[in-house]
Structure formats: structure tokens, C-alpha cells
Amino acid sequence: MTFPRMTGLSAFLVSAAMLPLVVQAQTYPPPAYQGGVPSQSQTQIDGSAPVQGAQAQQAPQVSPQVRADTERAMHYPLPPDFMTRAAATIAELQARNIQPPNSHGTSLGDTIRQISQVPGLAPVLQSHGFTPETFVMGMTAFGMTLAASNGQLPTGMPSPNPSNVALFKAQPGQVTALMQAMGNPPH
């Protein structure tokens, strides 16, 4: 199962933990073989053949903070109604013209703190059952699970939470709906 790639508002919503990893990974040449054995991504989650080439790459050198944020996000469990509530939250944020801060290059903790300080954002989150932390963590887990399902994470990165993978497979329409709410309709 392949899902659409993220753009627009989703660049923020996926959070800082994933973006440095993907950007850094794209600066390394893709190894076709490691020690004479074809390389395989540990993040392949849909049973399809491993992604080769530019998308299946060596794990880049990452800071301990980025590594810890990645582990935290990949293990974060999404509640069964997450995608429905997140799509409604994003729609309301857009309707109210509330723009989250640019979190590119910041830690998850810093992103959560920045979100907490945006005027009007916390009440919208609360009305949909989120705190700044659960929203940022959920969106990051969603984005990283999506990236893993598309083979966009470098080799050696942790696999997504199995319950999140099962949720994606059980609710593909909700994945698409959340992507559409984020401004990225499926292709």
C-alpha cells in the first residue's frame, strides 16, 4: 500500500524529527549492495519489494537529539480516531487562518513549546481532544509512518509502531482524508 507524499502544511505537521533525517539521507549516494548483499530498508512495512536507489539509503550520521526524537515518534501509538480528529483540527486551523510556526530543524520538544505559544491554537486543539504534545506527536508519527510506507526513510531507521501500520491498512480512506486536509490530495 503506497500513500501520497507530503507537501504544504504537512511539512510543518510532520515535525522536526523526520525532516533532517530525510534531507541528510538524500545527500548520501545510495548503496545498491552492502557487503555483496542487496540492501533492504528496515522501514518497508507493506510487504512490497524493498525500495532500491535514492530512497533506500544508508542511515546518515544524526545527532543524538534527532535520533531520540525519531525513536520517540516511531514508537508513538496513534489512537484509532486520530486521523478523523486530526483532519477536523487542520480544517478548523485553516478556517481560522491560524498558522503554526516553522519548526524545520527544531526538536520535538521545541516544536511542542512553539505550538503552545501560538495564539488561538491550543483551544482549537483542545476542542478536538488534543494537547499541543499529542497533536505534534500524532502528526509526527503519522508522517513518519507515511514516509516509511513510501520508502522515504533511510535504511537503519526504526520501523513504525506496528499498531500505526495496522491502522493505516485498516483505514486507508482516513489516511487519504488527512492527507487532503493537509493540502496534499492523493495522486
pLDDT tens sequence for the chain (187 residues):
444 444 444 444 443 334 444 433 333 333 333 333 333 434 444 444 444 444 444 445 668 888 889 899 999 999 999 999 999 999 999 999 998 888 888 899 999 999 999 999 999 999 999 999 999 999 999 999 998 888 888 777 889 999 999 999 999 999 999 999 988 655 4
Residue type, 6: M
Residues 94, 82, 174, CA angle at the centre, nearest 5°?
A: 80
Q: Which pLDDT does position 185 carry in this prediction?
A: 53
pTM here is: 0.71
Give strand pairing partners of 38: 33
Based on C-alpha coordinates, what's the Rg of the chain?
A: 16
Distance CA 33, CA 39 (A): 5
Q: How many CB atoms lie within 10 A of CB 182?
A: 25
Residues 63, 8, 105, CA angle at the centre, nearest 5°?
A: 20
Residue type, 24: Q
Contact 58/86 with Cβ under 8 angstroms?
Answer: no
Q: Which pLDDT does position 82 carry in this prediction?
A: 98
